Structure 1
Amino acid sequence: MSTDFAFDDELLADLVETPGVPGYEDKIRARVRAELDGHVDRLRSDSMGNLLGTIEGSDPAYEVVVATHIDEIGFMVKHVDDDGFLELDALGGWDPRILRAQRVTVHTETGDCPGVIGAVPPHTLTDEQKKAERAVGDARVDLGLDAETVAERVSVGDLVTMDGRTERVGEFVTGKSLDNRVSVLAAIEAARRIDDPDATIHFAATTQEEVGLRGASALGVDLDPDLVYNLDTTVANDVPGFEAGEQVTRLGEGAAIKLKDSSVVTNHKLNRRLRGVAEDRGINHQLEVLPAGGTDTGGLQRAGGARPAGAISIPTRYLHTPTESVHGGDLDAAIELLVAALRTEDGTHDYTL
């Protein structure tokens, strides 16, 4: 990929292509740990798999959490049939219409196996079959192996992820799990760029967001921050078929400052400060009102008690598909805004309502 944007695009590709479905984030957590090591003062994880990297501030009494989930949507094998086809159970929100004719990777105890979710040729289907509603449970993974070999290699509980490379398409980056690996990259970049902050900053790589904000909700047991920032992707329906009011955000117009989603109404004093920081520094930004879909912001706002919470979102087309797309300039803007906000968090801003 080209390097005309400020972020580390090679690292982004590596993060996107490292597997980590909800509850099984081991590989991506290890990758993030390796990147944070040397840029934070402390690294630790908890029994939910959340990874915390802390930069000690000059005012240790004032603490800020920057959270970003590391899990991706995927599947778990729930049955291997007598013919060697795999039946799946979803981990996260899938639209079953997009599953046909996709390549996947099955992660087994003895190694990864490539597979496909096939599609019956349309000219062999009846009119009734063509109109039938699809469900995730209808998908079958074909490993191209005989049933006996499949039974030896694959077990119930093995994980399945989409198989896809990270590519540049014009000014966009496309990939299978930009949700939420673009935000993971943003947090890593911030940790790299911030030295000697006033506030103590905890970079939290959270787990199981795609199945109910579970990792973030558990953070409040171990942390009692004064302020929370969440980083995630958001909807950009700026494509044919949507009215202007339905688009939520638009690619190429900058980082999105979240006002609400279905899990949270963010702290409006924090929102105004984020807008002020962006305007003062000429950082492209837009406002996000997301009518459906929740994020870790909601879990963090209430984890262990009430706390001011805000979010910086990265506009993304085609969310929860293998071709998620973000504009490189929006990712740069999100990183710049996060870094600028953290550098100016010194405990003097009043977020009480």
Structure 2
Amino acid sequence: MTNEFAFDYDLLRELTETSGAPGYEDRVRAVVRREFDGIVDEVRTDAMGNVVGTVQGDADYEVAVAAHMDEIGFMVRHVDEDGFLALDALGGWDLRVLKAQRVTVHAEADDLTGVIGSAPPHLLDDDEDERGVEDVHVDLGLPAEEANERVAVGDLVTMEQTTTRVGEHVTGKALDDRVCLFAMLEAAKRVDDPDVTVHFCATVQEELGIRGASALGVDLDPDLAVALDVTVAQDVPAVEKEADYVTELGEGAAVKLKDGSVVTTPKVHRRMRSVAERREIPHQTEILPSGGTDTAGFQNTHGAKPVGAISVPTRYLHTVTESVHGDDVAAAIDLLAAFLDTETGEHDYRL
């Protein structure tokens, strides 16, 4: 890729820079509903905050496509007498990446910028690596009294980071899973008069245990489900590629075979690869040893379902510098759109 990405980079940047911690995805949800306007036949939101945009098809067959809106974040659990904030984690954090980071505290009246404090190196002790989120504090740079007046227990905290291009890559926060949310929205714009009904689902609380997708599995009860999420790209120095290999950046969209929560339906992932080969869409296969995705939320909820998943290879997951290759993003959009375009409802995915 030389000068321009083959997709709407401005929308991807907007989605990634918008804040949306688990259970509080309001701002991202507003963007999704805006993008659904005019491209789906119906939009609805449920009691958990999942957004479903439905494109009606002719056949009596329904496909659910899911990507989650939430990003890992925090909730304020205490404001101490000196005005520092103590946090409770919403999702899985690598504590090594939190030191000296800027954050946004979403207080009731307005957003406040803070920093996660880091002790000077000469004050650290041997137990520093054993500390957890309960030891992290946010410094708002405000007098103690004002901090206590403006911030309350339960306020949300997200990382403060812009999204930018780095060579052929896009890097920033919350690419997990906004890059796949973006891919789903872009594919939805290409779906025109499908044979089957397609429900495009922007889900909530995936980072807390695939909660939104599990509820949708019951409410929608689709005949087929396809989830989109990021996956690990371990093509970096200091990683043994043979021992820890999952995917590589620049090799195309990843067709998931398994992760820590699901084994995808063989007939589904084989058809995905067949479609990719026929359409000459760059792709690779993915076996992720641990970690779960929305795919599992549909597989055995309200009865057994065939499921598949498309992943976008991503470096530096659960940090503020998550990085994807532009060509892989384009390939994921192309593969999802092609898969839906060729879904007639007549494929037999039973085993």
TM-score bracket, normalised by the shorter chain, equals over 0.9
What's the counterpart of residue 229 of structure 2?
Answer: 232
1:249 maps to a residue whose letter is T
2:23 maps to a residue whose letter is G
Deviation of residue 48 (structure 1)?
1.1
Deviation of residue 180 (structure 1)?
0.3
Q: Is the 8 A contact 1:193 1:339 kept in 2?
A: yes
> In structure 2, what is the Cα distance between the partners aligned to 1:132 and 1:104?
21
Q: Which of the numbers 212, 216, 219 marks the counterpart of 1:215? A: 212
- Are 1:10 and 2:10 matched, yes or no? yes
- Are 1:84 and 2:83 matched, yes or no? yes
Aligned residues: 349
> In structure 1, what is the Cα distance between the partners aligned to 2:109 and 2:181?
28
What's the counterpart of residue 351 of structure 1?
Answer: 349
Q: SS where residue 193 of structure 1 aligns?
A: coil
User: How do 1:38-187 and structure 2 match up within 5 A?
Assistant: 38-59=38-59, 61-126=60-125, 128=126, 131-187=128-184
Q: Is the 8 A contact 1:314 1:334 kept in 2?
A: yes
Q: SS where residue 265 of structure 1 aligns?
A: coil
Write out per-residue CA displacement over residues 141-191 of structure 1, whole angstroms, 9 at most, x where no aligned residue.
000001000011000000000000001001010011000000111111011
Deviation of residue 194 (structure 1)?
1.1
Write out per-residue CA displacement over residues 286-330 of structure 1, whole angstroms, 9 at most, x where no aligned residue.
000000101110111122111000000000000000000000000
Q: Is the 8 A contact 1:217 1:302 kept in 2?
A: no
> In structure 1, what is the Cα distance between the partners aligned to 2:173 and 2:339?
29
2:185 maps to a residue whose letter is I
Deviation of residue 332 (structure 1)?
0.2
Q: SS where residue 337 of structure 2 aligns?
A: helix
1:49 maps to a residue whose letter is G
Deviation of residue 124 (structure 1)?
3.4
Q: SS where residue 264 of structure 1 aligns?
A: coil
Q: Is the 8 A contact 2:22 2:90 kept in 1?
A: yes
1:57 maps to a residue whose letter is G
Deviation of residue 138 (structure 1)?
0.9
Deviation of residue 121 (structure 1)?
1.6
2:288 maps to a residue whose letter is L
The 4+ residue runs of structure 1 with deviation greater than 6 A are: none
1:303 maps to a residue whose letter is T
> Scaled by the length of structure 1, what TM-score is found?
0.97
2:45 maps to a residue whose letter is S
> In structure 1, what is the Cα distance between the partners aligned to 2:19 and 2:279?
36
Deviation of residue 221 (structure 1)?
2.6
Deviation of residue 3 (structure 1)?
6.3
Q: Mark the runs of 5 or more structure 2 residues left unpaired by the alignment.
A: none
Q: Which of the numbers 266, 271, 275 marks the counterpart of 2:264? A: 266
> Scaled by the length of structure 2, what TM-score is found?
0.98
Q: SS where residue 222 of structure 1 aligns?
A: helix
> In structure 2, what is the Cα distance between the partners aligned to 1:5 and 1:132?
40
What's the counterpart of residue 201 of structure 1?
Answer: 198
Q: SS where residue 155 of structure 1 aligns?
A: coil
Deviation of residue 193 (structure 1)?
1.1
- Are 1:316 and 2:317 matched, yes or no? no
> In structure 2, what is the Cα distance between the partners aligned to 1:303 and 1:9?
35
Q: Is the 8 A contact 2:217 2:297 kept in 1?
A: no
What's the counterpart of residue 296 of structure 1?
Answer: 294
**Higher mean Cα deviation, 2-11 or 253-262?**
2-11
Deviation of residue 137 (structure 1)?
1.1
Deviation of residue 220 (structure 1)?
2.5
Write out per-residue CA displacement over residues 196-252 of structure 1, whole angstroms, 9 at most, x where no aligned residue.
010100000010000000000001232121110000000011111212231200000
User: How do 1:238-277 and structure 2 match up within 5 A?
Assistant: 238-245=235-242, 246-277=244-275
1:238 maps to a residue whose letter is D
